[in-house]
Amino acid sequence: MSPSVRLQEMIRVIRGARTQGEERGVIQRECAAIRAQFRQADNGTRSHNLAKLLYVHMLGYPAHFGQMECVRLIASPRYNEKRVGYLGAMMLLDEKQDASLLITNSIKNDLSHSSQYVQSLALCTLGCMGSAEMCRDLAPEIDRLLRASNSYIKKKAALCAVHIVRKVPELGELFTPASRSLLSEKNHGVLHGAVVLITELCERNPETLEQFRKAVPELVQIMKGLVMSGYSPEHNVAGISDPFLQVRILRLLRILGRNNETASDAVNDLLAQVATNTDSSKTAGSAVLYETVLTVMDIKSESGLRVLAVNILGRFLLNNDRNIRYISMTSLQKIVQTDHNAVQRHRGTIVDCLKDQDASVKRRALELSLALVSAVNIRSLMKELLLFLSSCPPELRAHTTSGIFNAAERYAPSQRWHIDTILHVLTTAGGDVRDETVPNLIQLITTATELHCYTVHKLYRALIADISVQSLVQVACWCIGEYGDLLLRGECEETEPVQVAEDDVLDALETVLQSHMSSPATRGFALTATMKLSTRITHNVDRIRSIVSIYGSCIDVELQQRAVEYNALFKKYDHMRYPALSTTALGPVSSTAGGDLLDLLGGLDVTPGETRSYHVTRPGKTLGPNYRLFMTFVSHSHPPQSVQLQMKAPSGDVIPAHGLGQVTQTVLLNNPNKVSLKMRVRVCYTSQDFVCQDTVQIDSFPSPAW
């Protein structure tokens, strides 16, 4: 029986095993037989035994005892044995194994073998698993093959050189001269290898990059030849002539043209030609167009060409192929900051992609939509985002809500719109919002004085409809406590009038207090609100008193403490009740336990002269495992001319998650004329892969400051 059939027979037997245990048994027997065969003298079956071992290895079983056999087979003069030996070396030996060094000599010999197929084996193996030491040893050989051999060997030598340069970058200098001359080869395989090698050399060495800029005209010629050539059966893929080579040349031109006017100019025409002539009905053409667009956007192209590129991406957005829509959006994401207006033109299509079935496409569309929000489109775009929120996949909800809040904060056309938007988000996805949403919303409502009546009515209605969303319930309770008098008055300019009796309101608050859905914090809000109402209502103060006294013996310590204190207000300090519970005045940014974005701590250095320094600390947030922050700048809003601002570097640029650390950035403000100042602070940060922004306004500094 021919040995090769025995290999297939073994495979058949292994596959026939009905249980894992049976398979293990078969394999153990086979491995024992293989081991025995390895120990024997050469009997012509060595290569087949190694092949069997490689199959067993692929199933996940240990095969290290075959390593020496690989070394032996590689050294054999017979091609069939070398072939399997080298395959085994690539599968079982990597640079970390000692045995790999033993094959260096065989490889060296085989690189000069009379048969190109043996040379090929050596080149392939070296290029796949050659260690730094082996690469150093054999680099001169590879250089020789780059210069003087047939195209079959040259193309392999070029990629082998790429591997060598990746392992030992200093050897790049050795290959630079040969790689330059390879560009004049006609053979596509060699050309492709040459372009890959030159790309690698240029990426690692700026001087080499400078040198190869002179090759740009030659590369342009080659590319033109490919694009304008007629049908070439050997390299044609769906109407494109050698898309693999075209893409690699485009990428090399990108590297050479980056930050260089001359090189960029030289390729402008070519890029326009490729962009307009390439048929993108199949993937091959789209791949070339995609690479062209990336190149146009990365080098110093003319503005007309950039617009053309963005339009290609816009066309991709409408493509039926989901892959093409996806890469279009990743590309648009990269350029949305630099070419904002051009991308805005495709906003409609991007927003449509929010409705795509594919989760990856949805995610990309969300990122892009958030990046495209502006003062002009905020109303229409927010409608789409809110629609998206109501049906978006759960893993995107938190990001969507924070994106919506940021956008609303930056571009809200009116306070009423802002409040409505936040309320809409809370009703739709209140469980997925950040901790500081509640204090932020409270702050917002407080400052919107004309809307207190409207807001309390709206929140009351939301509360009686549903008390399950904690964030919404908390804000509603707070609002009812603060502005309960406006609620009970009945009339409101902005909404339909509705009669709300004191009992109704107290019923609602009591429901929250008693519900098992309410968290302890929510109960705290509800209790405080109930207490505050004692100064806003007239008939039911006794009811309030009894509610409060019940909670004086509540199990929850926090709640109990509150209730006891409120009880005391009723009994001993009744004269203080009204002043203590009156409407909160507007104040500066407050810090809360939830982790407000900025916290003005004390830290005033009172030094002689007029410079004061403030330590602005950013408590570590509790979201997500990989939270990185870059505090980029602090800007004055309308700085008076006499005021000077100096920002020091932040103490770090990464905040660990889960509140495990903080970053401090010192800002020195010199205010010699003691002008009253407001300050707006914007913090830009990346969390996981998303770029986020938060803005906070500081309306007043503590009075001893100046």
- Give yes or no for residue 11 binding another protein (CB under 8 A): yes
Out of 259, 320, 341, 357, the only residue in the binding site for another protein (CB under 8 A) is 357
Q: Number of residues in contact with another protein, rule: CB under 8 A?
A: 71
At 322, the amino acid letter reads R
**Nearest distance in Å: CB 203, another protein:** 10
> Is 421:386 a contact under the CB 8 Å cutoff?
yes
542 to 581, contacts with another protein by CB under 8 A?
none
| Best CA proximity match to 457, nearest among 408, 428, 511, 419 | 419
What's the angle, vertex CA 519, arms to CA 517 and CA 522, rounded to 5?
Answer: 110
> Measured from the CB atom, is 270 or 287 closer to another protein?
287
> Is 663:671 a contact under the CB 8 Å cutoff?
no
Out of 182, 196, 275, 392, the only residue in the binding site for another protein (CB under 8 A) is 196
* 40 contacts: CB under 8 Å, gap ≥ 6: none
**Nearest distance in Å: CB 313, another protein:** 13
- Give yes or no for residue 119 binding another protein (CB under 8 A): no
Q: Distance between CA 435 and CA 54 in Å, rounded?
A: 56
Out of 175, 290, 551, 614, the only residue in the binding site for another protein (CB under 8 A) is 290
- Give yes or no for residue 45 binding another protein (CB under 8 A): no
- Give yes or no for residue 323 binding another protein (CB under 8 A): yes
- Give yes or no for residue 634 binding another protein (CB under 8 A): no
Which span (90-98, 474-482, 486-494, 578-586) binds another protein, by CB under 8 A? 90-98
**Nearest distance in Å: CB 224, another protein:** 18
Residue 125: helix, strand or coil by DSSP? helix
Instruction: For 62, list phi and psi in degrees, rounded to 5.
Output: -65, 145
Q: Over the Cα atoms of the chain, what is R_g?
A: 36
- Give yes or no for residue 115 binding another protein (CB under 8 A): yes
Which span (188-196, 562-570, 610-618, 643-651) binds another protein, by CB under 8 A? 188-196
- Give yes or no for residue 188 binding another protein (CB under 8 A): yes
Out of 30, 46, 55, 685, the only residue in the binding site for another protein (CB under 8 A) is 55
Q: Distance between CA 383 and CA 413 in Å, rounded?
A: 14
Q: Cα dist. 92→11, 42, 80, 99, 102 in Å?
A: 19, 21, 18, 10, 13
> Measured from the CB atom, is 362 or 562 closer to another protein?
362
Q: Distance between CA 240 and CA 237 in Å, rounded?
A: 5
**By rule CB under 8 A, what string of x and - marks binding of each residue 210-239 to another protein?**
------------------------xx-x--
Out of 46, 83, 346, 523, the only residue in the binding site for another protein (CB under 8 A) is 83
> Measured from the CB atom, is 363 or 543 closer to another protein?
363
- Give yes or no for residue 189 binding another protein (CB under 8 A): yes
Which span (113-121, 140-148, 402-410, 438-446) binds another protein, by CB under 8 A? 113-121
Which DSSP category does 97 fall into? S
Which span (91-99, 214-222, 510-518, 574-582) binds another protein, by CB under 8 A? 91-99
Out of 270, 324, 442, 456, the only residue in the binding site for another protein (CB under 8 A) is 324
* 21 contacts: CB under 8 Å, gap ≥ 6: none
- Give yes or no for residue 358 binding another protein (CB under 8 A): yes
**Nearest distance in Å: CB 648, another protein:** 32
- Give yes or no for residue 8 binding another protein (CB under 8 A): yes
**Nearest distance in Å: CB 514, another protein:** 43
- Give yes or no for residue 447 binding another protein (CB under 8 A): no
Paired residues of 635 in beta bridges: 680
DSSP element (H, E) containing 176: helix 172-182
- Give yes or no for residue 129 binding another protein (CB under 8 A): yes
Strand boundaries in 256-377, DSSP class E: none
> Measured from the CB atom, is 120 or 149 closer to another protein?
120
138 to 167, contacts with another protein by CB under 8 A?
152, 155-156, 159-160, 162-163, 166
- Give yes or no for residue 399 binding another protein (CB under 8 A): no
- Give yes or no for residue 87 binding another protein (CB under 8 A): yes
Q: Distance between CA 503 and CA 514 in Å, rounded?
A: 16
The C-alpha torsion from 423 through 428 and 434 to 437, rounded to 10°, is: 10
Residue 321: helix, strand or coil by DSSP? coil
257 to 286, contacts with another protein by CB under 8 A?
283-284, 286
Which span (5-13, 300-308, 456-464, 573-581) binds another protein, by CB under 8 A? 5-13
Our separate counts of H helices and E strands in the chain read 33, 9
DSSP conformation letters of 453-514: HHHHHHHHHHHHH----HHHHHHHHHHHHHHHHHHHH---SSS------HHHHHHHHHHHHH
**Nearest distance in Å: CB 663, another protein:** 25
* 217 contacts: CB under 8 Å, gap ≥ 6: 266
| Best CA proximity match to 368, nearest among 394, 395, 398, 342 | 342
Q: Distance between CA 100 and CA 130 in Å, rounded?
A: 8
- Give yes or no for residue 54 binding another protein (CB under 8 A): yes
| Best CA proximity match to 554, nearest among 542, 563, 546 | 563
**Nearest distance in Å: CB 53, another protein:** 11
